[in-house]
Amino acid sequence: GAVVSQHPSRVICKSGTSVKIECRSLDFQATTMFWYRQFPKQSLMLMATSNEGSKATYEQGVEKDKFLINHASLTLSTLTVTSAHPEDSSFYICSASAAVGNNSPLHFGNGTRLTVT
Amino acid sequence: QQQVKQSPQSLIVQKGGISIINCAYENTAFDYFPWYQQFPGKGPALLIAIRPDVSEKKEGRFTISFNKSAKQFSLHIMDSQPGDSATYFCAASMNTDKLIFGTGTRLQVFP
């Protein structure tokens, strides 16, 4: 089945530094990837839609200059949390689909636990 | 209108029992309704999904019931097992991959 790999699984960083999270589709090409954020015991909130070769589309309330998304190839999207603060500590999860639209199943990575000290 | 309401927030079921989780939506443009299972520290995994042209879909011990007129759908887990203990999310989308998730249900199945 379709596999989405996310790296790293855990990261701890100091306030003010930047952290990059990678999301790869291992056995399929994904023109669209999605980035979600999940706080403890809460639901997944969509942050942005990442399209290969074009700018990401951010959801309302998500700072695009803080959460930089790059989707340079059909198998890789990256999320960079810039100038991280403790309130950015969360579980970040990416997802990808092998086909755009048409309700194709979304496959999720195993998430990245970010802790900002 | 974009919300998907999910209940209960938590559920405790005896092994062998039936677990039932309910979801309701407002936006009639939604046409794809998946259920995801999430274990602690892991990403969600697709369990089963349904489209509004059918009222029920069954895969193994998992069944989705869909009521289009009431704008509700539910997940039934038959013969619940301790290994089913996880958080379950319903979701909905409008012919895109952009899913709107419910608030989640934490299921605990005791032996």
How many Å apart are CA A77 and CA A30, to the nearest integer? 9
Query: Given an 8 Å threshold on Cβ–Cβ distance, is A34 in contact with B97?
Result: yes
Tokens of A62: 């998500």
- Tell whether B103 is within 8 A of chain A (Cβ): yes
In which element (H, E) is residue B36 found? strand B33-38
Query: Given an 8 Å threshold on Cβ–Cβ distance, is A43 in contact with B102?
Result: yes
* Interval A14-60: pLDDT, tens: 999 999 999 999 988 888 899 999 998 899 999 999 888 888 999 99
Neighbouring-strand partners of residue A44: A38
For residue B20, the SS3 value is: strand
* Interval B4-47: pLDDT, tens: 999 999 999 999 999 999 999 999 999 999 999 999 999 999 99
User: How confident is the model at residue A35, as a pLDDT?
Assistant: 96
- Tell whether B41 is within 8 A of chain A (Cβ): yes
- Tell whether A110 is within 8 A of chain B (Cβ): yes
Query: Given an 8 Å threshold on Cβ–Cβ distance, is B51 in contact with A4?
Result: no
B8 cis-preceded (ω within 30 degrees of 0): yes
